[in-house]
Structure 1
Amino acid sequence: MGRLNESRIGAVIAEAFAVRASTAMRSTLHAEHGAALLVGLDSEVTVTVPGPGGAVVRGRMVVVPPDVWHAASCPGPTLGLLYDPEAMPHVAGYTHLRGGPCPLDGGVLARLDGAVAAHGASLARPEILDGLARELAGWLAKGSPRRAPDGRVARVLEALRDPAADRRLAVARAGISEAHLQALFVRDVGVPIRTYQLWRRLLVALVAFSRADATSAAHAAGFADLAHFSRTCRRMLGYSPTELRGGLLLA
């Protein structure tokens, strides 16, 4: 295929989203605190949800709501987009409306296909990926529900965006009992406070890993050691840090 090969993979990690172009995709079972859109450029994406009520979902574009355990694969060139649910609640709301992993077609897929075709072999350039991620988020904005979190939850979220933040201090400053705050946090964010802090540390570590060795990146983000960083990455993103950095993920 002309658009992507081993020299044309690319990725962008921004404050509100991450996007990655790869020549193939295969993740292990994981649950990310992000709204995912997985796009097969030449073939279908397969998303598998475990458990008694699980299912196998296939489509050229599949959306996965935040905090849903799943594994994903695609044998050909793939775009993977992950949106921060707090920074881009309209994207998270759009995926939540589907009730679980769901294939999309129609207007959104047609517009994305047009944008991809227009960029051709330049698709994996960082500025192109960044633009596509922002444009796709805009397409999903109309009709998506938006609900602001409780003010006390919002203050904890802001504090924990810093990986060095003291979680206990952030909780104490909320002015309500820890149990009450935890219930509000799970209601508004979808995961416990500790899990959210771990997610933020993972994102910070991955950015640091793009310019430093894995051990230094792990320590810079507040992980106890490299093993903790690697386990968290696999559990929350379905890959090891090295696999993500390597770029080419073979099916």
Structure 2
Amino acid sequence: MLAALGTAGSDGPGTHADLAAGYAELRAVAGCPTALDPRVAHAVHVCTLRDPDMPLASVAGEVGLSAPRLRALVRQDVGIALARLRRWSRLRAAIACLPTGPAALAAATAGFADQAHLTRTARDFIGRTPASLRPVKA
């Protein structure tokens, strides 16, 4: 699965996951016979990789759906709310920035409202604070 996502052995924040390959691998492992709706795949790509801050109405318009219908399709096809996927993406970006700067800068760079928002999201998603994710200095 990690090899399909392009993250196996990756060392830095410059690596990009191949979501289509990861999804195909997950379907093979899970035995899920249905393909991901291309509108959903495009919307997830836009919301998590290309432009996480793009308004949902704009993303929905790009794929020819209303915002509520896009939310419903993403939850149905992916199993996770689109808003939660966006938060995961922001958290991933912030964590990638932590080794090189302060948590407040990582939060701002990743699109969080403030450092406290980043901290709450990190605790909610991974049960740890951003400070606990910093590499230990020797």
| 2:35 aligned to which of 148, 151, 154 | 148
- Superposition CA RMSD, Å: 2.7
Distance 1:151 1:166 in 2: 19
Offset from partner CA, 1:42-98 (integer Å, 9 cap, x none):
xxxxxxxxxxxxxxxxxxxxxxxxxxxxxxxxxxxxxxxxxx87651224763xx4x
Structure 2 counterpart of 1:218: 107
Offset from partner CA, 1:114-157 (integer Å, 9 cap, x none):
xxxxxxxxxxxxxxxxxxxxxxxxxxxxxx54753211111111
Structure 2 counterpart of 1:157: 44
Distance 2:91 2:27 in 1: 19
Q: Structure 1 length as normaliser, TM-score?
A: 0.43
1:164 CA displacement: 3.2
Structure 2 counterpart of 1:209: 98
Q: Measured at CA, do residues 150 and 242 of structure 1 come closer, stay the same or move farther in structure 2, by a change above 3 Å?
A: same
- Higher helix proportion, which one? 2
Larger Rg: 1
> Unpaired runs of 5+ in structure 1?
1-10, 17-83, 98-143
Identity %: 32
Structure 2 counterpart of 1:88: 22
Q: Which has the higher contact order (CA 8 A, sep 6+)?
A: 1
Structure 2 counterpart of 1:195: 84
Structure 2 counterpart of 1:135: none
Do structure 1's residue 227 and structure 2's residue 100 form an aligned pair? no
- Higher strand proportion, which one? 1
Distance 1:210 1:168 in 2: 34
State how many pairs are aligned: 123
**3-state DSSP of counterpart to 2:134:** helix
